[in-house]
Amino acid sequence: MPTIHSSAVVETDSLGEGVTIGEFAVVRPGAVLGDGVTIHPHVIVDKDVEIGAGTDVQSGSCIGRRPLATGSVANKPTFREVLRIGEGCAIGVSAVVYYDVEIGADTLVGDHASIREEVKIGDHCVIGRSVAVANEVEIGDGTVIMFASNVAAKSTLGNGVFVAAHVLTTNDNALGAEGWAGKEDAGAQIEDGARIGANVTLLPGVRIGREAIVAAGSVVTRDVEPGSLVMGAPARPR
């Protein structure tokens, strides 16, 4: 049987065996919690969210946020009101996961991480503490993104990619001066097995080839060949 604290608001009947829901948590209608899911205090699980068996959601997280926009935003968000988190995942304290996201099994989402709409994340990934993943991003299996890195909209990360702390990807060469330029520019395209060192900046549309290495502190202004090592600002082969 589920264990539900008396202060929790639970509006769904789709609770698996051994589910635990803590103090002041909110679980909206249509949400599906698999066997052994743990929802810690003050978590919000919005309607129709699906959370796989054995997943642990830490205090203060919002699972199923709707994107907002004001008149100052050039690119109006579009999204489907679906969200699926796989089995055996761990969602950290105060993480925010928007609607229209799919997270694979056995993936860690760190404290204060933010994952925007239209994002797909594979199995066995790490989305580190305070990482920001923008909209329209795809992340392959076994990829690790470390502390406080930023994944810009329209980026693609392959399987087994390693992104160190404080890496910045960008997607607009106009720096916002001409509004959103997403059709002309795009985020980084990082192929399988590539490794990106700490404090690297990737300019819009650059492609990091398979198994390539970008040394810490580099500024990447052009594509990096598969298997190569680049470093510096601008980054050059070494």
pLDDT in tens, 174-225: 777 766 555 556 899 999 999 999 999 999 999 999 999 999 999 999 999 9
Co-location of 129 and 158 in the same domain: no
Co-location of 127 and 164 in the same domain: no
| Residue 60, domain member (yes or no) | yes
Co-location of 114 and 19 in the same domain: yes
| Residue 18, domain member (yes or no) | yes
Among 118, 4, 117, 132, CA closest to 66: 117
| Residue 218, domain member (yes or no) | yes
What is the residue range of 178's domain? Answer: 154-238
Co-location of 118 and 42 in the same domain: yes
Co-location of 117 and 212 in the same domain: no
**pTM score:** 0.94
Co-location of 198 and 238 in the same domain: yes
Number of domains within the chain:
2
Arithmetic mean of pLDDT, 22-44: 98
Co-location of 1 and 111 in the same domain: yes
| Residue 73, domain member (yes or no) | no
Co-location of 25 and 86 in the same domain: yes
Arithmetic mean of pLDDT, 86-95: 98
How would you label 52-84 residue by residue, b for 16+ Cβ within 10 Å and e otherwise?
bbbbbbbbbbbbbbebeeeeeeeeebebeeebe
Burial class of 185 by CB neighbour count within 10 A (0 to 12, 13 to 18, 19+):
middle
The answer to whether residues 207 and 189 touch, using CB atoms and an 8 Å cutoff, is yes
Specify the CATH number for the domain of residue 226: 2.160.10.10
Co-location of 1 and 119 in the same domain: yes
Cα torsion 185, 203, 176, 80 to 10°: value is 60
